Amino acid sequence: MSDGTHYEVLARKYRPQSFSELAGQEHVSRTLQNAIDSGRVAHAFLFTGARGVGKTSTARIMAKTLNCERGVTHEPCNVCPQCIEITKGTSTDVFEIDGASNNGVDDVRDLRDNIKYLPSHSRYRIIIIDEVHMLSTNAFNALLKTLEEPPEHVKFIFATTEPHKLPVTILSRCQRFDFKRVTLPKIIARLREIAGKESVTVSDASLALIARKGDGSMRDSLTAFDQVLAFCGNTVSDEDVATLLGTIDRRLLAEISAAVFSGDTQGVLEGVRQVDLVGYNMRQFCQELIEHFRNLLVIRSVKKPEEILDIAAAELEELQKQSLHVSALDIQRRLTLLIKAESEMAYASFPRLIVEMALLKATLLAPLVPIRELIEKIKTLETAAVHTPALPWDTARAATTPMQQHSEPLSSTPSARPQPPAAAAAPAPGPAGGHADWGTFVTFVNDRDRQLGSVLEHGSPLKQEKGLMEIGFPAGSYYLTAARDAEFIADVQALASSFTGGDTAVRIKSIESGFADAPLSLAEKKKSDAEQHLEELKQEVKNHPVVKEAQRVFGCSITDVREF
């Protein structure tokens, strides 16, 4: 390695100088080489793709192939003066322009004026504009005419990470090449090649961590490798790489997932603790867990996972071993929990707690019963039910229909609560020898004024004498306030007089809480009857032979009984 005095970073030192060295973009290399060999070289190219995948390097290689002294060929010689000048960036006929800092209309006009002249000592004047999407609208307009009818000695090569920001008029005048993210195995292979040239001792696991840090970018991966070498020197350990790059050791992810599938809650929480000890971001950790479980799911779901997963061969082998004893459905259920937890962590104050809860849920998930086994159990249950009485569902439905108003006599002695009558049907409203049925009276009022009736339903009949009706309402309640309204009393008195066939005064009284002698209001009685009915229904369901057999066959218990 260099002594550090004039150290050249790896990304520059090992920059591709020919199409054969361009890793991961074989489809671009082959197309450009065929175009050169056939003499069908366009006047404008657009290279698009993520950062660090080789767009600018390809532009330089293309420039060298077109201007190489040994002739236009699909690979530059890299030894002639023209190739060397382009490699060093000193060629007077190849202009590399940064679109971010030269994005004005004046910059493009100067460029347009310069390209009119023939190249000084090359075949072509080649204009490379990096991050071309940063040009202003006026700059694009100034470039458009030249791009449409360029001089024969000019070639344009544009590079951008955001092609959607380019005007359609520019896109339609360029041959577009989309650069892919470099796959993990190819990045690892390139890193291994460079490690050999630099005499660095490093494991494949460490190279995989470095490559994964690059996230598909060869340049970012080389930058991360540079950082590792600066810290570790020529001998690189796995622990140092994981600590330096802030990445989770894949072995820890495997250990945590193994603990999840084996039901080891202690191991799961210990794994989270180790992650927290190194100060790793919990949301990033959750995302890596999601990726790990996703890889397991793909392996269990397809025959050739290596064609889908972007992972190293050694890691694929380990994942295949781990996935042997779990089903795709079990993996999917746990993956769903982790995805939900990750979405909740965006604004969470306790991200570690969310991860721990999700992993504990995943660890304690009850195993699913195979569908064939469920079918057999259902058949057993059906056989047992043939000779047992029918379930009380029809009766339950009948009982859940709206209950009719019960008849409760208006008593002049409120000391005894009225008992539910044997019949639920209400008699026809009308006079009844000076004593009227309270429920019938409320029905009578409801038929004529629903608002008045809804208040009376919450009142208790305290006293009814000839010419007097006394009604009690809970102290402090809304219904007491509404009933004491003068207009309300006048309306009820009029209806009471009509109901009894004589003048009847209405008196409203307050019932203090704890006053047990007051008769139940209709609303209270309906609630009490419904609760009693539901309790009876629960007991009936609980003791039914079919339900008991279902509990035995499925190993379940009754949690709730509801009426429909």
Segment 20-39, tens digit of pLDDT = 888 889 999 999 999 988 88
Confidence at residue 391, expressed as pLDDT on a 0 to 100 scale: 53
- Listed by start position, the domains of the chain span 10-178, 184-245, 250-363, 392-543
Average pLDDT of 541-555?
Answer: 77
- Percent of the chain residues past pLDDT 90, beyond the cut: 27
Residue 130 phi/psi, 5° resolution? -85, 145
Q: What is the phi/psi pair of residue 395, to 5°?
A: -60, -40
pTM: 0.58
* Mean pLDDT for the chain overall: 82
* 392-543 carries CATH number 3.30.450: no
The CATH architecture of the domain made up of 250-363 is Up-down Bundle (1.20)
Give the pLDDT score at 422: 34
222: pLDDT strictly greater than 60:
yes
Confidence of residue 60 (pLDDT cuts 50, 70, 90): very high
274 pLDDT higher than 60: yes
**Quick one: pLDDT at residue 368?**
66
Q: How confident is the model at residue 433 (pLDDT cuts 50, 70, 90)?
A: very low
pLDDT average, residue stretch 521-546:
83
171-175, 265-269, 433-437, range with the lowest pLDDT: 433-437
pLDDT in tens, 63-115: 999 999 888 888 899 999 999 999 988 888 898 888 877 777 877 888 888 88
Of the two residues 148 and 269, the one the predictor is more confident about is 269
Question: Side-chain half-sphere of 342: how many Cα atoms within 13 Å?
Answer: 16
236 C-beta neighbours (distance < 10 Å), count:
22
Contact 528, 511 (CB under 8 A): no
Percent helix / strand / coil, the chain, rounded to 5: 55, 10, 35
pLDDT of residue 404: 36
Both tokens of residue 74?
Answer: 């699909």
Question: What backbone phi and psi angles, to 5 degrees, belong to 473?
Answer: -130, 150
Q: How far apart are CA 378 and CA 370, in angstroms?
A: 13
Closest to 479 measured CA to CA, from 469, 488, 470, 491: 488
Higher pLDDT, 499 or 544: 499
Given a cut of 90, whether residue 518 has pLDDT beyond it is no
Least confident interval from 239-253, 267-281, 342-356, 471-485: 239-253
Q: 10-178: CATH homologous superfamily?
A: P-loop containing nucleotide triphosphate hydrolases (3.40.50.300)
Instruction: With a cut of 90, say whether residue 58 has pLDDT above it.
Output: yes
The set of residues, in sequence order, having a beta carbon less than 8 Å from that of 63 and lying 6+ positions away, is 86, 91, 94, 126, 128, 155, 157
If phi over 0 gives left and psi between -120 and 50 gives alpha, with beta otherwise, what is residue 14? alpha
Range scoring the smallest mean pLDDT among 200-209, 273-282, 431-440: 431-440
pLDDT at 410: 39
Range with the poorest average pLDDT among 234-248, 381-395, 451-465, 540-554: 381-395
How long is the chain?
564
Establish whether domains 184-245 and 250-363 are of one fold: no
Output the pLDDT for position 232. Answer: 87
166-198 burial code (b ≥16 CB/10 A, e <16): beeebeebbeebebebbbbbbbbebbeebbeeb
Burial 127-162 (b: 16+ CB within 10 A, else e): bbbbbbbbbeeebbebbeebbeebeebbbbbbbbbe
**In this predicted model, what pLDDT tens digit does every residue of 286-329 receive, in sequence order?**
999 999 999 999 999 998 888 888 887 888 888 998 888 888 98
Q: Give the C-alpha distances (Å, rounded to integers) separating 109 from 62, 144, 470.
A: 25, 11, 99
Write the pLDDT tens digit of every residue in 126-138: 999 998 998 888 8
Q: CA-based angle 123:12:217, to the nearest 5?
A: 100
**Range with lowest mean pLDDT among 10-19, 46-55, 417-426:** 417-426
Architecture of domain 184-245: Orthogonal Bundle (1.10)
pLDDT digits (tens, 9 = 90+) for 184-204: 889 999 999 999 999 999 988
